[in-house]
Chain A
Amino acid sequence: MKTLLLLAEHDQHGLKPATLNTLTAAKQLSNNITLLLVGPDSERAATQASAYQGVTNVMINNHACYDHGLAENIAALMADLAQPFTYLLAPATTFGKNILPRVSALLTIAMISDVCEIIDDNTFVQPIYAGNALKTVRNLQAKQVLSIRTSAFTAAGELTSTPAPIDVLTQHPQARACTFINQQLTVSTRPELTSARVIIAGGRALQSADNFDTLLAPLATKLNAAIGASRAAVDAGFAPNDQQVGQTGKIVAPELYIAIGISGAIQHLAGMKDSNVIVAINCDPDAAIFHCADYGLVGDLHQIVPELIEKL
């Protein structure tokens, strides 16, 4: 039987959606799945995790040395636990990307990043070159380490009436690690960018953080959407870094993506071209974004966006 260990991402409120996308991928590989949750606030998420269909086991380790997602100790723990498992998975979020390669190296295993399709037990597809090519890879290593592109798998939703047992781990292997100083997490009442059904994204053409607030925010509110941004908009300080969509930001695939004043550089397209419906609003009829848009509207965003807000 192929066993699988999934490093779950969670916070004090519970499991992160990325974990549920990764669980869907995991279920394609194994029917013996253990979820690992670490950090002092892992209990609540563990109870939640144990209720998902497909989860055989939940392990938690609430030692403080695993707090804040610091890679060194979490990787040491995961490598320590790896022995009985065929697959080691984590979401390809900044959390998973930080930790999983470290686990892989501790185990001397070549890792596959950003799996977007599982063909069989040991054949996987991953995007390379900002999604301009798809690489199919065969992995014949006895143990496999895979990070999962969350936008390519739906979130697991099915619950079971017989929750999986929760084991509390007491060992806490550690490594030479960073010390946590602080973090500033963006607080928002909007849906999370990577799991939102609708995303309104703004580019350099928005010209200011003020315009993000007065033009994009009301539109996002009307459509219960998350707000995204191009790199140019983030670099210019119009939007926070966690809103960046693209090759080096977040990868999203919502039902509806509305790109406003974004030119459509390949690095931006890399993060959103798998959206179900794409709308582009841009004053330049030759902008590259129109090539991937289902509906394009050529014009000045300063006129179009207020009109959209009024008419929706």
Chain B
Amino acid sequence: MKILVAVKRVIDPYAKIRVNADQTGIETHNVKLSMNPFDEIALEEALRLKEQGLASEIIVISIGPIQAQETLRQGLALGADRAILIQTDQDLEPLVIAQLLNRISLREAPQLIILGKQAIDNDANQTGQMLAALLNWPQATFASKVTIDQQRVTVEREIDGGLQTLAFDLPGIITTDLRLNTPRFAKLPNIMKAKSKPLEIIASETLGIDLTPRLTTLSIKPPPIRPKGILVHSVDELIDKLRFEAKVI
């Protein structure tokens, strides 16, 4: 079985997010960029399936600027077999990302595609579901447990009310939630080896997809600042404040 894993390069989850001066975007100068944490989990799951003998090849794919090669190299160092970069300097919408991934899926014919449930930059939580729609494949989103028996994939997923278990026959799409697994770190020799693994670069314009944005960003602003609170010094004072000042209890 061939597995395709989509990975995005994003601002590191522990970096401080600052809106740029002209309120058109987020400051990325001197900010650490990393693989989207959900995508690390997606890749880890694919690696584990390969280690169980259930997958023969893992392809990592990213859509982004030329620097996203670093993210792909990290994926190769972690154990993916080869990488594809669809290069673009545009900030593409999830629909277009899904359309591009669809093109590559038709070419590569993976049986399983694993994506993070959301990227921590736009928090959109759309791409996996959209790709599943375009391929007319079943989708098991927000996965916290995956088991595969022959062609049958069983996925436990996190839903608002608790946990739900679904199953589908390959091919299909899984999007990952945080509790699916804990990703490994790349070992130094593997980082060296990753440099010689194949990484194909495809220009985004060559895939026959209309990349023009359908939505226009008017502004990006920092959220309103909460008024500064106070420290209270005892439980009695806290109860008093909640009763008589905030009037919430």
Residues of A within 8 A of B (CB): 11, 68-72, 75, 93-95, 97-106, 108-114, 123, 127-141, 175-186, 194, 198, 223, 231, 234-235, 240-242, 247-248, 250, 255-256, 266-267, 273, 276-279, 290, 292-298, 304, 307-308, 311-312
- 21 A-B residue pairs with Cβ-Cβ distance under 8 Å, sorted by A, are A94-B142, A101-B126, A102-B132, A110-B93, A129-B26, A130-B120, A132-B17, A136-B220, A176-B136, A176-B137, A183-B159, A183-B163, A241-B144, A248-B177, A267-B13, A276-B248, A292-B226, A294-B230, A295-B238, A295-B246, A296-B232
Whether the Cβ atoms of B166 and A70 lie closer than 8 Å is yes
Extra 16 A-B pairs, beta carbons < 8 Å, given A111-B124, A296-B232: A71-B132, A72-B132, A110-B214, A127-B123, A128-B122, A128-B220, A183-B159, A186-B161, A235-B178, A235-B179, A255-B248, A276-B248, A295-B242, A297-B233, A297-B234, A312-B249
CB distance from B179 to the nearest CB of A (A): 6
How many contacts A-B (CB < 8 Å)?
250
Residue of B nearest to A11 (CB): B161
CB distance from A253 to the nearest CB of B (A): 12
Expressed in whole angstroms, the Cα–Cα distance for A180 and B178 within the complex equals: 22
Expressed in whole angstroms, the Cα–Cα distance for A181 and B120 within the complex equals: 30
Expressed in whole angstroms, the Cα–Cα distance for A132 and B121 within the complex equals: 10
Q: Does B186 contact A (CB under 8 A)?
A: no
**Interface size for chain B: under 10, 10 to 19, 20 to 34, or 35 or more residues?**
35 or more
CB-CB < 8 A to B158: which residues of A? 94, 241-242
Interface residues of B in 198-230 (CB under 8 A from A): 213-223, 226-227, 229-230
Could you tell me the dominant secondary structure of chain B's interface residues? Answer: mixed
Whether the Cβ atoms of B168 and A108 lie closer than 8 Å is no
Interface residues of B in 157-180 (CB under 8 A from A): 158-168, 172, 177-179
Whether the Cβ atoms of A101 and B129 lie closer than 8 Å is yes
Expressed in whole angstroms, the Cα–Cα distance for A97 and B95 within the complex equals: 14
Whether the Cβ atoms of B126 and A111 lie closer than 8 Å is yes
Known: A105-B133, A111-B95, A184-B162. A136 touches B219 (CB 8 A): yes
Known: A112-B215, A178-B138, A241-B162. A133 touches B123 (CB 8 A): no
Expressed in whole angstroms, the Cα–Cα distance for A250 and B10 within the complex equals: 22
